[in-house]
Chain A
Amino acid sequence: MSNPGGEKLIRNTTAARINHWITGGCFVLLMVSGLSMFHPMLFFLSSLFGGGEWTRAVHPWIGCLLLVSYAGLIVQFWRDNLWNWVDIAWMAAIRRVLANEEEGVPEVPRFNAGQKFVFWSMALLVPVLFSTGIVIWDVYFSPYTTIEQQRIAVLIHSLAAVAAIIIWIIHVYAAIWVRGSVRAMTQGYVTPGWAWRHHRKWLRSLAATNSPGPRPRG
């Protein structure tokens, strides 16, 4: 695992990492404040934001920041998240992946189908959360919609939020489970062995173009 002085491949650029952690920070704050307003047993979480009123006031602003931040992630990552046939073959071999037996699993490029699923799910859910959130942002936007529209929006907002939280848990667990992934997003690099094991097609494309990562040259 450790790779002192060894060869490193750039997995995520500094800009991408900062962008990612702004998004992640916003997501955690939104999740905690949102859950406090969702379930009575979690209302105590609103204390972390200075009480219920502060929670209500600050939650939508963090949401705005997350929308902008996630847009940045889309710009930086969309190309490597396009679907292709390898993803279907990879999904078919998901049992082996989950069992940590990656030999025989189709070689994947920079992102596997699971990562793409997280990326595109959030790319869908974030705009849904933002647009429904605007409708229920009572202070500024309540005059522009009917109460019935607000009822529908608050339900969709909750459903989308629950879906996003579940996907976030999968995302976080996968990062912990596949050792070396957290470092790829904190310090930005992976070892060649990591790339060989998990993203061999990506490694081959870097090797073929003599690129240090994260994308092949040319």
Chain B
Amino acid sequence: MADLQSQDYIRRSATTMTPPSARAHEQEVAKLIDVSRCIGCKACQSACMEWNDLRPEIGHFEGSYDNPMDLGPHVWTLMRFNEWEDEKGNLEWLIRKDGCMHCEDPGCLKACPSPGAIVQYANGIVDFISENCIGCGYCVKGCPFDIPRISPVDHKSYKCTLCSDRVEVGLEPACVKACPTGAIMFGSKSDMTEWAGERIVDLKERGFANAGLYDPPGVSGTHVMYVLHHADRPSIYAGLPDNPRISAFIGVWKGLLKPLALAGIAATAVAGFLHWVVAGPNEVQPEDEAAARKLLHPADKPR
């Protein structure tokens, strides 16, 4: 099947039992995007299209280096370009490779109503299993990063797979392979965190006092991490959320409300049944018919 009989699930959408997880002895992986090394060449975008056989429709020039202008069913990664002036008036060109962050606590998966349409493997990758996707758009609401896109053609939701098919057989994601400057690295999450640490020390020495790693704790960390030269304000990088977390509305809807709603519905039905057992049916009595007859036909003699 589409998910190659995976037995290394740690999460499976809309599933109340433990998913197949016997083969879960895997290292957690991470993609590290060092924004400070990115030259904006879009090789990663091309590699993504090439490996995944994606061909978005040709758009129009909109006065921006962003091309295309947004993620889409056929655009799973996108360079977002931002011109930013610091306090001293220096211009910085901030380029961020946008795409699925592969949250440790994925909001899309939590919101998904279809069993097995979204899964998370033991290595941390969050994957959409399209044959189970029903196209409802709940993942869009669950995602704190505005990543999934529903195709208007086949009504399936799409996003970066972190090249789960490549990673499964020991290869790095296509974007990593294509990056000419080493701005995109791939490996175990601990290695990537360590590597990022070295790089951050380096950046701080070069005057980026607020350089840091973007691995947001609000979603229990991510399997795509950024090295940012201005980690104190992620939002300057084309609206990267400062403190992403699954919306409280989604939390209530998918947490408290589910059991409470079923309990309320069941309790009402049980209350009705108990009333039937205790009080029983309310039946019209012969006296009622007689009284009604008297009212409707006052002239008649009582029968």
Q: Footprint of B on A, CB under 8 Å?
A: 1, 7, 36-41, 43, 46, 51-53, 55-57, 98-100, 102, 136, 138-139, 142, 147-148, 150-152, 154-155, 158-159, 162, 165-166, 169-170, 173, 176-180, 191-198, 203-204, 207
Number of residue pairs A-B, CB distance < 8 angstroms? 156
CB distance from B154 to the nearest CB of A (A): 10
Q: Is B282 a contact partner of A138 (Cβ separation < 8 A)? A: no
Q: How far is the CA of A55 from the CA of B133 in the complex (A)?
A: 12
Residues of B within 8 A of A39 (CB): 258, 261-262
Other contacts beyond A53-B135, A56-B136, A150-B140: 7, CB < 8 A: A43-B115, A57-B155, A136-B137, A138-B136, A178-B282, A196-B288, A197-B288
Closest B-chain residue to A194, C-beta based? B284
Q: Is the CB of B141 within 8 A of A151?
A: yes
With A147-B146, A197-B284 known as contacts, the answer to whether A166 contacts B268 (CB < 8 A) is yes
- For residue A93, give the distance in angstroms from its CB to the closest CB of chain B: 14
Contact assessment for A148 and B247 in the assembled complex, using a CB-CB cutoff below 8 Å: yes
- Does chain A have a CB within 8 A of B61? no
Q: Is the CB of A162 within 8 A of B113?
A: no
Residues of chain B with a CB closer than 8 A to A196's CB: 288-289, 291-292, 295
Q: Chain A residues with Cβ under 8 A from B295's Cβ?
A: 192, 196, 203-204, 207
Say yes or no: A169-B272 contact (C-beta < 8 A), given A139-B155, A179-B281, A193-B292.
yes
Q: Decide if A197 touches B285 in the complex (CB within 8 Å).
A: yes
Query: Is the pair A1, B284 in contact by a Cβ cutoff of 8 Å?
Result: yes
Instruction: Name the B residues within 8 Å of A165 (CB-CB).
Output: 265
User: Assuming the A-B contacts A52-B114, A162-B257, A194-B288, are A138 and B140 also in contact, with contact meaning beta carbons closer than 8 angstroms in the complex?
Assistant: yes
Q: Are B140 and A142 in contact (CB under 8 A)?
A: yes
Could you jot down 15 A-B contacts, CB within 8 Å?
Answer: A1-B284, A7-B293, A43-B114, A53-B155, A142-B137, A148-B247, A155-B253, A162-B261, A166-B264, A169-B265, A173-B276, A191-B292, A196-B292, A197-B285, A207-B295
Output the least CB separation between B192 and chain A (Å).
Answer: 29
Q: List the A side residues contacting B14 at CB < 8 Å.
A: 40, 43
Closest to B269 in A: A169
Residue of B nearest to A53 (CB): B134
In the complex, what's the smallest C-beta–C-beta distance from B276 to chain A, in angstroms?
A: 7
Chain B residue at smallest Cβ distance from A102: B282
The reply to whether A142 and B150 contact each other, CB–CB distance below 8 Å, is yes
Closest to B146 in A: A147
The verdict on A193 contacting B289 (CB below 8 Å), with A56-B134, A142-B140, A165-B265 known, is yes
A residues less than 8 Å from B269 (CB atoms): 169, 173
Partner of B138, one of A102, A154, A173, A195: A154
| Residues of B contacting A177 in the complex (Cβ-Cβ under 8 angstroms) | 272, 275-276, 279, 281-282
Q: Is the CB of A154 within 8 A of B141?
A: yes
CB distance from B161 to the nearest CB of A (A): 21
Count class of interface residues, chain B? 35 or more
Closest 4 CB pairs of A and B: A193-B289, A138-B137, A192-B292, A52-B134
Q: Is the Cβ of B261 less than 8 Å from the Cβ of A158?
A: yes
State whether the Cβ of B252 lies closer than 8 Å to any Cβ in chain A: yes
Residues of A within 8 A of B136 (CB): 37, 56, 138
| Residue numbers in A under 8 Å from B15 (CB-CB) | 40
B115 and A98 form a contact (CB under 8 A): no
Please judge, given known A-B contacts A56-B136, A159-B257, A193-B285, whether A41 and B113 are in contact too, CB under 8 Å.
Answer: no
Q: How far is the CA of A99 from the CA of B286 in the complex (A)?
A: 19
What's the minimum C-beta distance from A69 to chain B, rounded to whole angstroms? Answer: 23
B136 — nearest CB in chain A belongs to which residue?
A56
How far is B268's CA from A39's CA once the two chains are assembled, in angstroms? 18
- Least CB separation from B298: chain A residue: A207
A157 vs chain B, min Cβ distance (A): 9
With A38-B258, A39-B262, A41-B16 already in contact, the answer to whether A152 and B249 are too (CB < 8 A) is yes
User: How many Å lie between the Cα of A98 and that of B281 in the bound state?
Assistant: 10
- Give bound CA distance, A204 to B285, whole Å: 18
Residue of A nearest to B273 (CB): A173
Q: Which residues of A contact B137 (CB under 8 A)?
A: 136, 138, 142, 150
Chain A residues with Cβ below 8 Å from B135 are 53, 56-57, 138-139
- Could you say which of A159, A169, A203 has the most chain B C-beta atoms within 10 Å of its C-beta? A169
* Cα(A60)–Cα(B171), bound, Å: 43
Q: Is there contact, CB below 8 Å, between B265 and A166? A: yes
Instruction: Tell me the complex Cα distance, A99–B281, Å.
Output: 10
Decide if B92 is an interface residue (CB 8 Å cutoff): no
| With A142-B150, A169-B269 as contacts: A193 and B261 at CB distance below 8 Å | no
CB distance from B78 to the nearest CB of A (A): 17
Q: CB distance B279 to A98 under 8 Å?
A: yes
